[in-house]
Amino acid sequence: MRKITRVTSSILVGLFLASTACQRAQASNTPSPTNTARGAIAKPSALLPLPTPTLARVNAQGQNATSIADIVERVLPSVVSISSTRVAKNRMGGPGMMEDPFFRHFFGQPNGEQREHKEQGLGSGVVVGDGIVVTNNHVVEEADEIKVTASGHKEFVAELVGTDPKSDLAVLRIKDEKKELKALALGDSMRLRLGDVVLAIGNPFGVGQTVTMGIVSAKGRSDLGIVDYEDFIQTDAAINPGNSGGALVDMDGNLVGINTAILSRSGGNVGIGFAIPTNMVRPIVDSLLSQGKVVRGWLGVTIQNLEPDLAKGLGVSVAEGVVVSDVAKGSPADKGGLLRDDVIVSVDGKPVTTTGELRNAIAIAGVNHVTKLKLQRRGKEMLLSIALTASPDRAKADDEPGANKASPKADELLGMRLESLSPDLRRRLEVPPEVKGGVVVTGLSPDSPGARAGLRPGDLILEISRQPVNTPDDVQRTYKASKGPAAALVMRRGSTTYVVLKKD
């Protein structure tokens, strides 16, 4: 009641003052000898505040600079719509279906014959050079024909220069006369700050060019599982199907990102969209234009995030970084002196806190670049200079190495069944000869502590808390002797990684 009374009183006082102000205003508008003699009296302040230039940038002198409408007019000719067509084949009917005379009468196709049909896709793109258009790989993937439509509704035929599925980028070249196409300047995506206003321009749902506005919600989004190399700008500007490949621009009208994906359960915009930053786009486009493919820098390590439990298990003092769990023989990392257990905290002076950040930094640095890694090794800070090379193609097995997946007994350690590395298991798991020992996980309960730690049947446990283990008793003894979470070094598919065995 007190709050209501105070509010009511404030309203009454406000109305009284407003009435008084109106009476004074009327009086001041009535000519009188006194007013004329003293000069014009200043007009009272408006009761409602005047509109503020929220949709315009204001320079240091307080004058309105370029408005959002001006930015859109300048940028729109550089954003195009892309339609792709590919010919797909499908079999007519199911087994035995076309043997039925009824279906044969209407379709006239023998069973199993393939019929061709055209599939069309819609997306967006951005002109970044003389007839050069950047879009998403998934917009033009496997396309037999690509057409580009500019803002003036003129259609161009485009050819594919190159694609990079690992980042979901593709580069097109316009074949026809292209005077109508204007290149959009690439901005520095590193300068974006959380809360900066951005515009998303594209062709959502094929309805035509559309502009939406939002802010930068987050930067450096990775490990989302969308593509191999992720460093996304997250924005709440409305992005929908068809916006893929379109432009994300800042308030200077510069391109800062290529709209790529949305996080949605319904398929429509829910305010979480992702764009590839221009600082990642630029080197990829340059590489595709000059070489027709993307050549990334390669370090040659297996890495994982430094989680708090893993940091305790390894006895590491730093709170953030990337743990080296394996080093490939003959790789740049091996030649440069990088060791297993090293924790990388920065690359070329820039901090790295996740595996995605480290992979992106190494990839963008490129071949023949000498990168400087700051790391911690057993409590000591170190700086290594490593010459990067091109990443080799490494095939990965689709299935886990064969192992006995029988459910273990309830009283077994961490819900696992363990066996020492025997010649038979060595052969089945293809363990390299330089690995002299270890303990194989041959059985694992799905809800056991071992499974929750990330262990799998077929894993070869090499160390626990940096102590080598060769028998199940070694594992049990070392695990029980650890005072906190125990870091287990595990070989899986020929490379090593860490898992953390927690204590209840």
* Active-site residue set: 138, 168, 244
Give the CA count within 13 Å in the CB-facing half-sphere of 171.
22
Structural tokens at position 140: 């033009």
> Could you tell me how many helices (H) and strands (E) the chain has, helices first?
12, 28
Burial of 482 (0-12, 13-18, 19+ CB in 10 A): middle
Q: How many CB atoms lie within 10 A of CB 332?
A: 21
What lies within 8 Å, CB to CB, of 6 at 6+ separation is none
Between CA 295 and CA 388 the distance in angstroms is 11
Q: If we measure between CA atoms, which residue out of 354, 347, 348 comes closest to residue 320?
A: 354
Between CA 320 and CA 295 the distance in angstroms is 29
What is the DSSP secondary-structure string of 366-408?
A: -TT-EEEEEEEETTEEEEEEEE-EEPPP----SSPPP---PPP
Calculate the alpha carbon distances from 439 to 32, 392, 413, 426, 474 in Å.
104, 30, 13, 11, 9
Q: If we measure between CA atoms, which residue out of 155, 201, 207, 159 comes closest to residue 180?
A: 155
For 223-296, strand residue ranges (E) read 232-235, 247-249, 255-262, 273-277
